[in-house]
Structure 1
Amino acid sequence: MAKGANPLRRVAVDPEVPMDVANLFRQRGPLLSRIRAGWSPEPPAATTKVPAGVLQAFAAASGGLLVSLLLVKMGQVVLFVFSLLVFVVFVGLLAARDADPLEGESADHELYGHARWYEGRYLLPEDFDQGAGQLLGRAQRAVDSVLGSRVNAMGMLDDMRNAVMLPAQEWEIARLLAKLSALRSEHRELAYGGSTPEVAAALAPLERALAGSEAAVVARVEALERYAGHVAEAERALNAHEQIEVLRARLPRYEELLAESGADAFAVPELDHLAQDAGRLEQALRDSVRSAHEAFRHLDGPPSG
């Protein structure tokens, strides 16, 4: 597949993968590529290091034993037995709380284990040719734009559905583009160096199938971008509405100043229309949100394998 600068924003991950694992994959994409190519972490080295929790527990037990011996010398046998039991429980709790994690559970080993377990449920930049990478980058930008918007965070959109459907859309687009990239690569190898008229005739319908599949994925990406565009309009309307509301709240101070200065008769008409502007912007905001909802419904489509 074509190499070079890849416009992907992140590793594409199946939304069914646990969130903590998916975030790890996105943060450590280059190492995932190395694991895919055959790299594996070194086995954990043997160690004789005593965990800090055990040392603390030993120190506490030693102090407790010393106190208990002093109590025995003083003839307080019952108190000795009680104190000894208390310190045994204390030592066990302290050791359990402060025990170091198992050796070898390093970040690299953790990633390696997850990469093997979830093989096939994440896609890396090398899974996409240049055209596919550009399309997926566009889809990821649209998804990020919607999920990062204030109108989504404020619940003005269907934020719960966005949180579920948009990552699923991104993964489905990534999955289709990876298959398309692989088939295009195989197709180029078949057509490399020229072919007979018979082979060219056989390849033609395959080329049309590739082009049709790409057009279908492009339509999905454009639908995502249209939705993101409507959300951006709603975001702009929200910002303008908030600014006008601030100005409207300050309007009485301006009117008071004009009255006190005797200039109220010369007030500019825009001051009188400020409340109307706020009303129009509020309607524009509602219209933008409604348009975003309409665009969102166009994202629903028949599933494709």
Structure 2
Amino acid sequence: MGVVVDPAVPPEIAGLLRANAPLLSRIRSGWVPRAGPPAPARRRNPSSVALLAATPLVVALMAVLLESPAAPVGFLLLGGFVFVVLVKIASMSELTEDDRPQERILYEKARRNDGRYLLPQDFDEEAAELLRRAQQAVGTVLRSHVNAEGLLDSARNAIMLPEQEWEIARLLAKLSALRAEHREMLDRGLAPEVEAVVQPLQGALDSSEAAVLARVEALERYAGHVAEAERAYHARDQIEELRAKLPRYEELLAESGAGTLALAEIERLAEDADALERALRRSVTSAQDAFRYLEG
């Protein structure tokens, strides 16, 4: 499980956050990358400075060579020198390796989007397992062919399912934090007068976990219907492919004198294709019903 990002965060920023979980953990703990120096203060490569300083002298020598019998050599040397100078000029404007601008960019994006992403350490073991199940269910739907082919409401899936994943993750992170505080309080020991107050709090945690579990199970039911539709979809395509090849098999049998395929077998194949078509439609309908349950 990696970084979970609010789907409202722009995709390019979300991608940057997801790809940098270790750095985000350091930022969360208080680490601040140093800002890159202003342009005039950036360190120059000493060899580049020396090369630029020697340019007038080198050009003068080249001019002498061009007036001498060794003019072709002068032209060659002049061209090589100009190329080296241009490369050095370009490199002088670049930041050195120690300036690390990407870390600063990530730091600024993370601060602006604080509260809109969650890290693996935000979840205890039970919450992480529930989130993994939710993410697996969402992935099953969004990666399916029946969704890509528009047999499901792919547009609504693309919006609603990431929102469901984020909402589940957000609730699980809160639940994990409260559970950790609750366990710490219990570990310190409670006075008898406090135990009566703590029991309803434990009940609130258990009820919240049950509510989130119900959301996850609803996602899993939806993903299960989609998986059934996916199997029917692929089986239907395979049957249709076989049906398209039947004339070639019959032609081969006829030419070889081995007889023809039994008519009953051909009819059974057609019936199988029709049955799979009906199964696919039923599976898609069931998935759509499950989707409406998620919305409700």
TM-score normalised per structure 1: 0.75
Shift of 1:43: 2.5
Shift of 1:127: 0.9
Q: 2:253 aligns with which of 250, 254, 258?
A: 258
1:218 aligns with 2:243: no
**Alignment partner, residue 26 of structure 2:** 34
**Alignment partner, residue 238 of structure 2:** 243
**Alignment partner, residue 23 of structure 1:** 15
- More deviation, 267-276/244-253: 267-276
Alignment of 1:176-255 (within 5 A): 176-255=171-250
Q: 1:277 aligns with which of 265, 272, 281?
A: 272
**Alignment partner, residue 4 of structure 2:** 12
1:113 aligns with 2:108: yes
1:138 aligns with 2:130: no
Structure 2: how far apart are the matches of 1:256 and 1:272?
A: 17
Structure 2: how far apart are the matches of 1:198 and 1:19?
A: 51
Query: Taking structure 1 as reference, are residues 266 and 287 closer, same or farther at Cα in structure 2, changes over 3 Å only?
Result: closer
RMSD: 2.4
Give the number of equivalent residue pairs: 247
Once the two structures are superposed, what CA deviation does each residue of 1:221-280 show, in whole Å capped at 9, x if it has no partner?
A: 011111111111111111101100000001112223334445446738433311111111
1:168 aligns with 2:168: no
- More deviation, 269-278/236-245: 269-278
Shift of 1:206: 0.7
- More deviation, 185-194/132-141: 185-194
Counterpart amino acid of residue 212 in structure 2: V
The alignment-based identity, stated in percent, is 61
**Could you tell me whether the CA contact under 8 Å between 1:132 and 1:177 is conserved in 2?**
yes
Structure 1: how far apart are the matches of 2:196 and 2:259?
A: 83
**Could you tell me whether the CA contact under 8 Å between 1:151 and 1:234 is conserved in 2?**
yes
Q: Secondary structure at the match of 1:172?
A: helix
Q: Secondary structure at the match of 1:42?
A: coil
Shift of 1:118: 0.5
Once the two structures are superposed, what CA deviation does each residue of 1:161-218 show, in whole Å capped at 9, x if it has no partner?
A: 0111011101100111111111111111221143233222111111111100000000
Q: Secondary structure at the match of 1:192?
A: helix
Once the two structures are superposed, what CA deviation does each residue of 1:34-67 show, in whole Å capped at 9, x if it has no partner?
A: 11011121221432559xxxxxxxxxxxxxxxxx
Counterpart amino acid of residue 188 in structure 1: R
Query: Taking structure 1 as reference, are residues 101 and 160 closer, same or farther at Cα in structure 2, changes over 3 Å only?
Result: farther
Counterpart amino acid of residue 18 in structure 2: R
Shift of 1:102: 8.3
Consecutive unaligned residues of structure 1, counting only runs of 5 or more, are 1-7, 51-99
